[in-house]
Amino acid sequence: MLDRLAAMGWLTHVRNDGPHDEGPQWAALKAADRHPLVKAADWILFFDIDEFVNVHAGDRTVPALLAALPDADAIPLTWRMFGNAGVVHYRDAPVTETFLRAAPAVLHWPWRAALFKTLFRNDGAYGKLGVHRPRSPDRARNPVWRDGSGRMLDAAFRTQRIFSDFGQDNYGLVQLNHYALGAMESYVVKCDRGRANRDSSVFDMGYWVERNFCDVEDRSLLALDAQGLRAALHGDAALAELHAAAVQWRHQRFAALMAQEPWRALFGRLMMARPTRALTADEARLIWNRARVD
């Protein structure tokens, strides 16, 4: 599908065939560091296929976000976790229209739910790409970091932080909608695939619980109507055929996994699990205090 989209002029596809000693994501980042399009870019954002930039400023485009923060050199786009909301079956429909329940705007726990991906100016202040933030900072530079609500961020964000501050709304100007779970059937297939950044790492119920937030409804992304674009893409016969084959493969893979007891057990646990409740500030404080005691 990516090859076909590249042939249609929508993107540049650089293959990332394995095996990868460190995980496919790190191999992709290293390849991107060397790519001429990356070197020529004014701004860079590294993000995944299940993450959608949701700008709230101006006309809701990236240029509108940059105009709202004209002095910013880096803008961390904080994840907003969209939970499973009880959806069992995978169906051929956009995740942005299927999963509409999300974490509240103010979250106190866990820190993994407040991770961000960084939109940053490609001006030499950082030497390498990273999963959540640019790496290899030029210590002589002091780039301006502003969060998704426009607040100035301290020096820790310039060099090491990968998650936003708790107990405040980080989505005033922009958020990164993160559909990490999908339908229960899709999550089983995702677990079978494994993690993108570490080949040996696995998904489990812990991953599910820390991301299955369904506290509030968030339809803000739906105002960016993509139906016309999707219709045009599906109108390409070759791409439509590839898409149909991908959907069929996903159904078939899930059916094959259900023939194995470990995957049936995981699917059963997903069916029994309740949505994750966002903790209050007092509850989160108790966890942090306990961590300090231990």
Ramachandran class of 85: left when φ > 0, alpha when ψ lies in -120 to 50, beta otherwise: left
Name the residue among 150, 208, 201, 213 with its Cα closest to residue 184: 208
Confidence of residue 253 (pLDDT cuts 50, 70, 90): very high
Residue 198: the pLDDT is 54
pLDDT for 65 beyond 80: yes
Give 114-138 pLDDT, tens digit per residue: 999 999 999 999 999 999 999 999 9
- The number of domains in the chain is 1
**Stretch among 73-87, 110-124, 131-145, 184-198 having the lowest mean pLDDT:** 184-198
The 10 Å Cβ neighbour count of residue 160 is 10
Percent of the chain with pLDDT over 70: 96
Nearest-CA neighbor of 69 among 122, 176, 146?
Answer: 146
1-10, 17-26, 208-217: segment of lowest average pLDDT: 17-26
To which H or E segment does residue 198 belong?
none
pLDDT at residue number 181 = 97
pLDDT in tens, 201-227: 467 899 999 999 999 999 999 999 899
What is the spatial order of strands in the sheet that 174-178 belongs to? 43-45, 116-121, 74-81, 174-178, 51-55
CA distance linking residue 183 with residue 79, whole number of Å: 19
Long-range CB pairs of 234-237, under 8 A, 24+ apart, other chains included:
236/4, 236/8
Q: How far apart are CA 74 and CA 116, in angstroms?
A: 12
Tens-digit pLDDT profile for residues 238-252: 999 999 999 999 999
pLDDT, position 100 = 98
Residues 6+ apart with CB under 8 A from 282: none
- Which positions ≥6 away from 63 have C-beta within 8 Å? none
Dihedral-angle region of residue 101 (phi above 0 means left; psi in -120 to 50 means alpha; beta otherwise): beta
Supply the pLDDT for residue 291.
67
In this predicted structure, what is the pLDDT of residue 199? 45
Backbone angles phi, psi at 204, to 5 degrees: -155, -170
In the structure, what pLDDT confidence band is assigned to residue 292 with cuts at 50, 70 and 90?
low
Mean pLDDT of 134-146: 97
**Is there a contact between 77 and 57 (Cβ–Cβ < 8 Å)?**
no
Please give the pLDDT value at position 293.
57
Residue range 60-71: average pLDDT?
98
Name residue, tokens 């030499």: 124
| Residue 290 scores a pLDDT above 90 | no
What domain range is 252 assigned to?
2-293
Average pLDDT, the chain: 94
Q: Which residues pair with 163 in a beta bridge?
A: 115
Residue pair 56/62 in contact (Cβ under 8 Å)? The answer is no
Q: What percent of the chain has pLDDT over 90?
A: 89
Instruction: Tell me the whole-structure pTM to 2 decimals.
Output: 0.94
Mean pLDDT, range 168-178, rounded to an integer: 98
Residue that the structure tokens 């893979």 belong to? 253
**Given this model, what pLDDT does residue 197 score?**
59
pLDDT of residue 137: 97
Report how far residue 193's alpha carbon sits from residue 120's, in angstroms, rounded to the nearest whole number: 30
Average pLDDT over residues 7-34: 91
- Residue 200: is its pLDDT beyond 50? no
